[in-house]
Structure 1
Amino acid sequence: MISGSPLAEWSFPAEPGSARTARAAVRETLRDWGLDTVVDLAVLLVSELVTNALRHASGPIGVRIVLKSGGGLLVEVSDPVPDPPRERAATPDDEGGRGLQLVACTSRCWGTRHGRTGKTVWFELSVAG
């Protein structure tokens, strides 16, 4: 948490081990916040988005989580590539291409936005209040 607020953020290098490190950071923070009911789903979705960023970006990957006052958990993954991700219609034989579908199907809402130096893909999960 930053300054006692319900906010945590990290920056990870675009290296293969960063997805594992991001999962651990999010898992630990959500458990510290007492949000055990959303830990597994949040960690899975962060892993998908960080992995996508690793495949397509060459710069740092940011992860930010915010506990909102209305019972939501906002999770953001940023990278320096300005192009938004595209949802694919993966076939049963495809090895990948389901990450954004998973985010869309399991989160309360999700989206992308442009930043000064790239993009952010975000999703929101409901949390028990």
Structure 2
Amino acid sequence: MQVLQVQMEVGADPAEVGRARRWARSRLAGSGIGADEPLAETLILLISELVTNAVVHTGCPAVLRMLLPGAGPVRVEVADVSARPPRRRHAEGEDTGGRGLELVDGLADRWGWQRDGAGKRIWCEVDRRAACWTGAFEPQHAATNRA
């Protein structure tokens, strides 16, 4: 099975999150995942959360990588040079932040992190083969999209 691997460097500026979303959307379309598919919307949201975490919480540049197989799970990775592990926060009511990793946990089939040189790599996967996959914006998602 051939896997298309694409990556971009992300600067340590919150404005880079929008650029990462636009870049990812164009790469997904080039891999045969339509921009209006629930899978694409879910992946863009996951990318947005992971890149935001890297840029905002570390203040360091990062590298966004997508592995796009013809079939099977799509993998998103964000590597940064901060050795500080990701920390799950619990947002309260009107909080405007603190939900990033909760969203990743709820939307991805699998996710995790690992040390990578002096820094770390946070990754997530969405299994596009699953017959019951409905996407983040479908009501059945939470009940059917868990590994």
The TM-score, its normalising length taken from structure 1, stands at: 0.88
SS at the partner of 2:95? coil
Counterparts of 2:70 and 2:96, CA distance in 1 = 38
**Amino acid of the structure 2 residue aligned with 1:9:** Q
Deviation of the 1:92 alpha carbon: 1.2
**Amino acid of the structure 1 residue aligned with 2:6:** A
CA contact under 8 A between 2:72 and 2:128: conserved in structure 1? yes
* 1:73-92 matches, cutoff 5 A: 73-92=74-93
Question: Residue 33 of structure 1 aligns with which residue?
Answer: 31
> Which whole-Å deviations, capped at 9, do the CAs of 1:57-87 have from their partners, x for residues lacking one?
2332100001246511010011111111111
Question: Residue 6 of structure 1 aligns with which residue?
Answer: 4
> Which whole-Å deviations, capped at 9, do the CAs of 1:9-46 have from their partners, x for residues lacking one?
11111113210111011100001101123211111111
CA contact under 8 A between 2:11 and 2:62: conserved in structure 1? yes
Question: Residue 136 of structure 2 aligns with which residue?
Answer: none
CA contact under 8 A between 1:58 and 1:80: conserved in structure 2? no
* 1:106-121 matches, cutoff 5 A: 106-121=107-122
Aligned match of 2:14 in 13, 16, 23?
16
- Which stretches of structure 1, 4 residues or more, deviate above 6 A after TM superposition? none
The TM-score, its normalising length taken from structure 2, stands at: 0.78
How large is the RMSD of aligned CA atoms in angstroms? 1.8
Structure 1 residues 102, 51: CA separation in 2 closer, same or farther (over 3 Å shift)? same
The percent identity for this pair of structures is 35
Structure 2 unaligned residues grouped into runs of 5+: 131-147
